[in-house]
Chain A
Amino acid sequence: MKDDVCIRDLEKDFGGFKAVNKLSLRVKHGEIYGLLGPNGAGKTTVIKILCGLLRPSSGEAYVLDTKVPDPRTASRIGYMPQELAMYRGLTVHENLAFYGEVFGLSKQQIDTREQALLKLIDLQDSRDTLVDQLSGGMQHRTSLACALLHEPQLLFLDEPTVGVDPDLRASFWQYFEELRDSGITILITTHYMDEARHCDRIGFMREGRLIAEGSPQELLELTHTDSLEDAFLSYSRTGGSA
Chain B
Amino acid sequence: MKVSRVFAVTKRALRDIKNDRRTRVLIFVAPLLVMILFGVAFTGNVKDVRVIVVNNDTAAASSSLSDKIISNFDTSTLNVAYSNSESDAIGQVQNGSAYAVIAFPSTFTQSVEARASGQTSIPQENVTVSILADKSNVNVANPIIAAVNNAVVQTTQGQGHQPPVSVDASNAIYGANAQFIDTFVPGIVSVAVWQITMLLTLIAFVGERTSGTLSRLLASPLKESELVAGYAVAFGAIGAAQSAVLLAVAVLLFHITIVGNVFLSFGVIALLAIVAEGLGILLSSFARREAQAVQFLPFVVLPAFLLSGVFWPIEAIPEWLQPVSYLLPTTYAVEAVRSVNLRGWGLDKIYPDVVALLIFAGVFLVLATILLRRRE
Give residues in A with beta carbon < 8 Å to B: 48, 51-55, 69, 71, 74-75, 77, 79, 81-91, 94, 98-99, 101-104, 130, 146
Contacts and interface: CB of A to CB of B under 8 A. Distances in A.
Nearest to A77: B219
A207 B212 CA distance: 24
15 contacts: A48-B215, A52-B219, A54-B376, A75-B221, A79-B220, A83-B212, A83-B215, A85-B215, A86-B211, A89-B19, A91-B19, A98-B11, A102-B5, A102-B9, A102-B220
B375 A99 contact: no
B376 A90 contact: no
Interface of B: 2, 4-5, 8-9, 11-12, 15-16, 19-20, 210-213, 215-223, 375-376
B13 to A, nearest CB: 10
Given A85-B215, A102-B5, A94 B375 contact: no
Report whether over half of chain B's contact residues are helix, strand or loop; otherwise say mixed.
helix
A89 B16 contact: yes
A182 B20 CA distance: 41
Q: Is the interface of A mostly helix, strand, loop or mixed?
A: loop
Contacts of B211: 83-88
A102 B222 contact: yes
B225 to A, nearest CB: 12
A48 to B, nearest CB: 7
B101 to A, nearest CB: 63
Nearest to B2: A104
Contacts of A48: 215
A168 to B, nearest CB: 21
Contacts of B218: 52-53
A94 B11 CA distance: 10
Contact of B212 (A82, A101, A130): A82
A79 B16 CA distance: 23
A69 B212 contact: no
Given A87-B16, A90-B15, A103 B215 contact: no
Given A89-B20, A90-B19, A102 B215 contact: no
Given A74-B220, A99-B216, A102-B217, 6 more contacts: A51-B215, A71-B223, A79-B216, A85-B212, A90-B16, A102-B221
Nearest to A14: B376
Residue of B210, B212, B216, B376 most packed against chain A (CB within 10 A): B216
Greatest chain A CB density within 10 A among B12, B217, B220 is at B220
